[in-house]
Structure 1
Amino acid sequence: MPRVSRMIVQNQTAVYHVMSRTALDGFPLEAFEKDFLLELIKRMSGLFFTEVYGFALMGNHFHLLVKMIPEDRFSDEAVKQRLVLFYGEKKAPVDDGQLPFIRQKLGSLSEFIREIKVNFTRFYNKRHGRRGYFWGDRFKSVIVEEGETLINCLAYIDLNPVRAGIVERPEDYRWNSLGYHIQSKNKGGFLSTDFGLKEFNVKSGKERVRRYREYVYETGAIKPPTKPHSNSHSSATFVGGVDDSSKYSECTSAAASPGRLGIISNAKRNDRSICGKIVTKERNRNFEISRTDRFLYRTRYFTDSGIIGSREFVSGTYQQFKHLFQCRHEKKPKSVKGLDGLFSLKRLSENF
């Protein structure tokens, strides 16, 4: 079956969760490569008609949450100014005859990601003395509704290094958006501090970051430190402001705790049975997928759903693209278990 053309919203702002993986084995994106990729994304976002909400650069893939802004929102003078800032006075293509083509390019999500990936491939191949492709298949993109869905998606992205077992707190990771906010104080104003919090009338960017961090901790069920400057961590999990200590009382061993984050100790690799305490825990909650599960484990709904948001948003946006799908019946929004009020265009199989 031929793959479906990419769904791109026309003539209005739209937020996309973009993800792209490398074609190489292992984890080729090390610290130096991640630093370069981050600077490249920052540079390209200043040229293209974008607003970046968040990102996570991992060892073999990256996530980007970005709003694309229609080209008609920018005057000719504003376009020329972007070109000069990017290329410099002498090299900037400021011929008025080229502006329509340039406008179209700078408003394109595909062109934005292509420039990032092509330029990174050149850098990587030169640095490592190689030729050929660096990135795998075409990048994935999901249309994300602004508001609650956006902040949920952003939290999922920022929790990538926690799920991978790299860090215990997302802001300790240098190459994600929460780490960038905390460690560099959002240097250069690279990231939007909207977070979907405008409805709360929060004008201070600092307060928005604080509230977003609180949201991520409560949503992701992260163990906060008991005291400042202390290496010990509380065994309690905070979800929605409720102390749910029982979640950690059953996983106190060094082997069990990393396993929850996706890292299995050597001692446990050959143990194929499910711990009795875990079975009891799941039985007590009737084996339902919880909100916390959606963020502590990899979920395909944030990366493969096509469109994600409220029922009305998914249904309405689908109407713009239903001609792309070869199916007899119209697709209907599917509810995402564990996240009340969140719907997906596609029904996806998952393993928890």
Structure 2
Amino acid sequence: MPRARSQQVSLSDTPYYHCISRCVRRAFLCGEDVVTGKSFEHRRGWIEARLLCLSQIFSIDVCAYAVMSNHLHIVLHVDDKQAKIWFTHEVLKRWHSLHKGTLFTQQYSRGETMPAYAVELAERSAEAYRQRLSDISWFMRELNEPIARQANFEDDCTGRFWEGRFKSQALLDEASILACMAYVDLNPIRAGIAATPETSEFTSIKKRVESAEKGRQPKTLYPFVGNERKDNVKDSSKNTPKGIVFKLTDYLQLVYLTGRIVRHDKRGAIDLSLSPILQRLGIDSENWMEIATKFEMNTHGVVGQTQSMERYKNSQPRARPNKRCCALLS
């Protein structure tokens, strides 16, 4: 029996989640419909632009994404602490960039003189918006609904565009996060629509490679921050870089090597155990290839190494972790 969304998302266990949305009624996000011959390639730009725009409004970071022909993958990082420190004006500014809000919130944003009861109502609304701006369900709603309306208008039809609600998986540890990100970044190569990660259109890996060539990281994606920590400070947590604690160069190399093995036209296998990331995580090449290429097939609602799954099970008495996930990531 499916679990309620509120039970699937537990920020006390992990801020990382893999979300998947699929189309219905033979609807396409991109590519060419083999039945009608009509091309929907331009729709990939719609969803990429919307996704990266929302990452600048919500306190939710995009770690990886891939827009495919009839579905999309996103790996998200929820930064609820960031939303909690926003001033009320900041919350309203962000929400008003998506919706009009109420008359009182508009007046509050403009700094107009308001009676006490109106100020209280505006601040209550702002607190509700604050919660929404760090909520995965609201993020996916703000992503999917405009795309559905735009596609329905273009197709001159009504009804569902997406296959119900989105699917989400909790990623409990570094191993599951990196494996899921690699799986998402390699989607176009497995589907045969791209030859290399750097030529995979409308994916996070392409954006990371393009930025890396210029000596920087894309501002719209959650960054890799290496293993660096600043010492000799009273509160080291305040000086810990915000991001994925691996080197970008190591991750790009890992995805590139995995992608070469995924492609059947590339002769010879490269020993992935040489990857610094796999050495650090203690994952051998065989297990890595299994999880990085068959992530959805071998995992369900919660993904992590054995010890992470045990911790999650203890914190969520009703949770029933998938044992196969544990074995693959151990």
**Identical-pair percentage:** 22
Distance 1:80 1:339, change over 3 A: same
Q: TM-score, normalised by structure 2?
A: 0.71
CA contact (8 A) 1:52 1:190 kept: yes
Structure 2 residue matching 1:55: 3-state secondary structure: strand
What does residue 237 of structure 1 align with? 269
What does residue 312 of structure 1 align with? 307
Match of 1:147 among 174, 194, 197: 174
- Structure 2 gaps of 5+ residues are 31-39, 110-121, 230-240, 275-284
CA contact (8 A) 2:260 2:266 kept: no
Distance 1:88 1:130, change over 3 A: closer
Matched letter for residue 216 of structure 1: V
What does residue 227 of structure 2 align with? 199
* 1:1-352 equivalences in 2 (<5 Å): 2-6=1-5, 7-10=8-11, 14-25=15-26, 27-29=28-30, 30-70=40-80, 71-83=83-95, 93=106, 94=109, 95-183=122-210, 189-194=219-224, 198-199=226-227, 208-222=247-261, 235-240=267-272, 290-297=287-294, 299-302=296-299, 305-323=300-318, 331=320, 334-336=323-325, 339-341=328-330
State which drifts further: 55-64 or 112-121: 112-121
Distance 1:187 1:131, change over 3 A: farther
CA contact (8 A) 1:15 1:143 kept: yes
Larger helix fraction of residues: 2
Q: Quote the offset at 1:46 in angstroms.
A: 1.9
CA contact (8 A) 1:239 1:292 kept: no
Distance 1:116 1:107, change over 3 A: same
Matched letter for residue 84 of structure 2: D
Distance in 2 (CA, whole Å) between partners of 1:335 and 1:107 is 31
Q: Quote the offset at 1:319 in angstroms.
A: 3.7
Distance 1:333 1:37, change over 3 A: closer
CA contact (8 A) 1:220 1:292 kept: no
Q: Quote the offset at 1:64 in angstroms.
A: 0.4
Distance in 2 (CA, whole Å) between partners of 1:237 and 1:340 is 21
- CA RMSD between the two structures: 3.5
Deviations 1:216-238 (A, max 9, x none): 123344489xxxxxxxx862332
